[in-house]
Amino acid sequence: MNLDTRIFYVVNDFARHTPWLHSLMAGYANHGVLAFIALLLVGWWLARRSTEPMMMVAAVWAPLGVLAALLVYDPIAVSVNETRPCNALHDIVVLHCNTDGGFPSIHAVIAAAVAAGLWLVDRRLGVVAVVAAAAMAFARVYVGAHYPHDVLAGLALGAVVSLAGYMLFRPLLRRLVVIVSKTWLRTAKDHPPRY
């Protein structure tokens, strides 16, 4: 038995002995992506209130980084098509299972791409997103949907694509943000109140 499978069994044994956590972990593993959408909105709100234009550039990139990571993820997942532990192993606790390939974890890809994007917007918000991404990765293993290497690969892929894409597209996005800031689409704080 390889190290990855042994770690999976340790986490699964933990799941077996913590039935009181099942609904919380299954809920987060399945629907926690909504928390990352909320974090992206918080990042946009912080950038909108800031006088630092690069915060808005990063906030614009953050959701685009998720889309870029998903574009890279798809051909990898289709070509690898790894069987998930919930379909391959017997006598394990399974709280969620799909029949599609498990490598890399799409939930981990999304979580890490959001976390990397928000790290560029605001470090404190980035820390919150990193913790949420780590919790998502653990939850996906806990419910039996992924092996540890699936979520680690997903975290790495999401973060690398998001950060690399930002470095590549930052000059273009900065020009777009400057152009938009000179139009009626600029932030509300730039508009004087009308009485």
Instruction: Tell me the pLDDT band of 106, cut-offs 50, 70 and 90.
Output: very high
Whether residue 127 has pLDDT greater than 80: yes
Distance of alpha carbon 58 from alpha carbon 43, whole angstroms? 9
Q: pTM for the full model?
A: 0.89
CATH of domain 3-176: 1.20.144.10
Residue-level pLDDT at 50: 84
Are 148 and 11 in contact by the 8 Å Cβ rule? The answer is: yes
Q: Which residue has the tokens 């917007």?
A: 121
pLDDT for the residue 31: 95
Whole-angstrom distance, CA of residue 158 vs CA of residue 111: 7
Mean pLDDT of the residues in the chain = 91
pLDDT of 120 > 60? The answer is yes
pLDDT value at residue 179: 80
Contact (Cβ atoms closer than 8 angstroms) between residue 126 and residue 162: no
- Please say if the pLDDT value at position 193 is more than 50: no
Q: Could you state, in order of their start, the residue ranges of all structural domains in the chain?
A: 3-176
What digits encode the pLDDT tens for the residues 2-41? 999 999 999 999 999 999 999 999 999 999 999 999 999 9
Phi/psi-derived region of residue 45, left when phi > 0, alpha when psi is between -120 and 50, beta in every other case: alpha
